[in-house]
Structure 1
């Protein structure tokens, strides 16, 4: 397929995709973007079956254009009692300081990958677009998604990942630069030294593949959109800039951090979930993560994704009850300070101006 036909492929009036942001949005934001002419995205990774069905019903009733349903497709980690014990030990002094009991018991996965059971629930809704993070699901599951007529997107953080996605059935590729907020889509390895900034990664992927390429990471205004278009992007995916929209479910603590000087300092960390993700630096990242060469806050003790969150949850709840974000994941990209509070439809149209210019 020609790289220039992405808007036709997805049926978009505007080449703007709202990034799925689990925990910070639901159907309200996705509908606002879709109904403005962009591609609104609904994150499904943390929803229960009942919640997912309710959200899908809203999308089906109210969407006035195409929309995207997003899933994780990670492999559930094997049990690692030694690593979990080390993580509990690392958290114990912080719990003692807060007057909380020491962590105990096994970690519980709060995020499940896309599987046949979820496919059964989704099938009747036939979402126009389905996107994946951390690669693609098993071939039989991917074939099932495509049988619904859904177009498939997935994130690549290297040229090698983009080529893999092209070879394994993606219809378009999201080039996720190092600036992007939230979880890295990295899936062919775990070496963060391979990760490039958006405007270095984007033209390399555009040159390497035959599919349309969507630029993601560090894009928060029309100037960023124009730069992505100049480097060969077929559309842009924007996340952090939408977090201050009234339709987003961003918490008061998260909104406050995004509108403060704190937002100028983001880093990659694995302390909240076990997998590298970019957020505004706070106490949990400084104390539990060792500063890496690229400014990351990476812990060798954090259990594999998504198990790290279990034993951190009591500390998070304790701090949030006092109005503190010490142990809250404040997901945000490096352009967080460019975010402005405005309705999602207005932001979508403002971003699209960069494409016309």
Structure 2
């Protein structure tokens, strides 16, 4: 217990936390109200900005700071090298045609360099990355402004690379986690399916910087187990999605209730990048015999967006991400969820 308390206290003191629970930065499901609730409960709020242009990043931060002086992180994907696969793109487009007529193309994707500048200007407690590493010059600028870098890793080799590149903490993402898997190599995602409680001690024993546990943690028992295995903090996402502050689509929220761990599925159907989701009819349709593989990222994301904006039926209106702990997600205020997690963890660790 003493070692656990030391790791937790050092981490919380360093990053301005009252308790070691971080909101996962879920793009499209992190309104400022959710981040404020987590931060006001003593944890760290978050926003996933991969789809946000600079003005939207700035607006989110202003709304957060109007409601809380607590710590928060902004998270972004490191861009994948472009994949040219015209045959896969055509096949996916033809398959989507079975759901109806597509709408107009959406707005151009935000420019990564501009997003990075907006994050620096916002001066959050933490800028975090997934799918790869920031370049050395950006890390130096980040640190010069007093901003920490948290890097997501799903393997020891990725974690070591992030540590050597200057990461201040590693987010150890187990395969139980909802949403996108953070492998640096997009083609390797299916093969890096390591559970959190195997990955966590493997990293803790070999990494100098603090390790944050992420994946399948949805109550105080998971928090206690992760801290006992050497994590300095935990990051939770699916556990917060049924809170009123999250404000997600009601169909998605209902699908999380009582979803068994074995029912959430890894899929590329929404974006072309592998992520864990609810097995909706749309998601499972891409696994039927004769179905084509989804187009690569970001082509698949753009295609699905077009059909959502068109005259289509059966295309999920939102990405229904779900971690394997979804059945533990509660309809309760986010602050209550976070505090209950910590109270239960403290009782167990004591």
Q: Distance in 1 between matches of 2:311 and 2:264?
A: 20
- Cα-to-partner distance string for 1:271-302 (whole Å, 9 max, x where unaligned): 110100000101122111369xxxxxxx8632
In the alignment of these two chains, the number of paired residues is 339
Change (3 A) 1:33 1:325: farther
Q: Distance in 1 between matches of 2:164 and 2:58?
A: 32
CA contact (8 A) 1:108 1:307 kept: no
Indicate yes or no: 2:28 matched with 1:26: no
Indicate yes or no: 2:120 matched with 1:123: yes
TM-score with structure 1 setting the length: 0.87
1:71 corresponds to? 76
Paired residue for 2:173, among 173, 176, 180? 176
Moved more, 262-271 or 241-250: 262-271
Q: Distance in 2 between matches of 1:319 and 1:92?
A: 10
Tell me by how many angstroms 1:124 deviates. 3.2
Tell me by how many angstroms 1:112 deviates. 4.4
1:8 corresponds to? 13
Paired residue for 1:57, among 54, 62, 69? 62
- Aligned residue for 2:42, secondary structure, equals coil
Q: Structure 1: state its 5+ residue gaps.
A: 292-298
- Aligned residue for 1:311, secondary structure, equals helix
Paired residue for 2:89, among 84, 89, 99? 84
- Aligned residue for 2:241, secondary structure, equals helix
- Aligned residue for 1:208, secondary structure, equals coil
Tell me by how many angstroms 1:120 deviates. 3.0
Q: Distance in 2 between matches of 1:311 and 1:143?
A: 37
1:296 corresponds to? none
Paired residue for 2:43, among 38, 47, 71? 38
CA contact (8 A) 1:20 1:239 kept: yes
- Aligned residue for 1:190, secondary structure, equals helix
1:245 corresponds to? 243
Tell me by how many angstroms 1:69 deviates. 1.1
1:160 corresponds to? 157
Change (3 A) 1:316 1:146: same
Moved more, 236-245 or 124-133: 124-133
Q: Distance in 2 between matches of 1:218 and 1:110?
A: 34
CA contact (8 A) 1:75 1:113 kept: no
Change (3 A) 1:234 1:45: same
For residues 136-155 of structure 1, the aligned pairs below 5 Å read 136-155=133-152
- Aligned residue for 1:71, secondary structure, equals strand
- Aligned residue for 2:73, secondary structure, equals strand
Q: Structure 2: state its 5+ residue gaps.
A: 1-5
Change (3 A) 1:161 1:354: farther
Tell me by how many angstroms 1:44 deviates. 1.2
TM-score with structure 2 setting the length: 0.88
CA contact (8 A) 1:179 1:198 kept: yes
Indicate yes or no: 2:350 matched with 1:345: no
Indicate yes or no: 2:299 matched with 1:301: no
